[in-house]
Amino acid sequence: MWLDSVKTGIKKGLETIWLLSKTIVPVYILVTVLNHTPVIGWITALFKPLMRVFNLPGEAAIVLVIGNILDTYSAVGAIKAMQLTVKEITTLSIMISISHSLLVETAVIKKLGFKVSHALITRIGLAIIFGIIVGRVGALI
């Protein structure tokens, strides 16, 4: 009986690893390649003033965009490909946990009959507020 449970657990675990790998690995490769091109420098320079509000480097904007457009697992792949500190990863993770997968989830919210604008303002607004708070607290530690 317990052997069947172990087999099922291993099978489901491997299926989950495969599913997540299909998202995380391509994003990791893309961001790693971008790190070796001038593109990261351009993005960093462009977003540095905005990311400074959260005590994040400019390139962290890539993680936020990927997380908000695609999903949290894609953001994990982007984070993994960057040289970020634990504090920066914590700030990004909290922001992405609040505001992520906006394209897909906005469609679901609309289908459920809720006001899309209210949901987007709430999620993005809370991500910004908590990003500022966590970024500032992290700077004190």
The pLDDT of residue 141: 78
Q: How confident is residue 139, by pLDDT bands cut at 50, 70 and 90?
A: confident
CA 14 remoteness from chain centre: 23
Torsions phi, psi for 74 (to 5 deg): -65, -40
pTM for this entry? 0.82
Residue ranges of the domains in the chain?
2-140
- Residue with the bigger pLDDT between 71 and 129: it is 129
Q: What is the mean pLDDT of residues 117-125?
A: 97
Residue 1 pLDDT greater than 80, yes or no: no
Read off the tokens for 53: 């509000």
The pLDDT of residue 22: 85
CA 92 remoteness from chain centre: 7
Helix 116-140 crosses helix 102-111 at what angle (to 10 degrees)? 140
The residue to which tokens 């989950």 are assigned: 16
The pLDDT of residue 121: 97
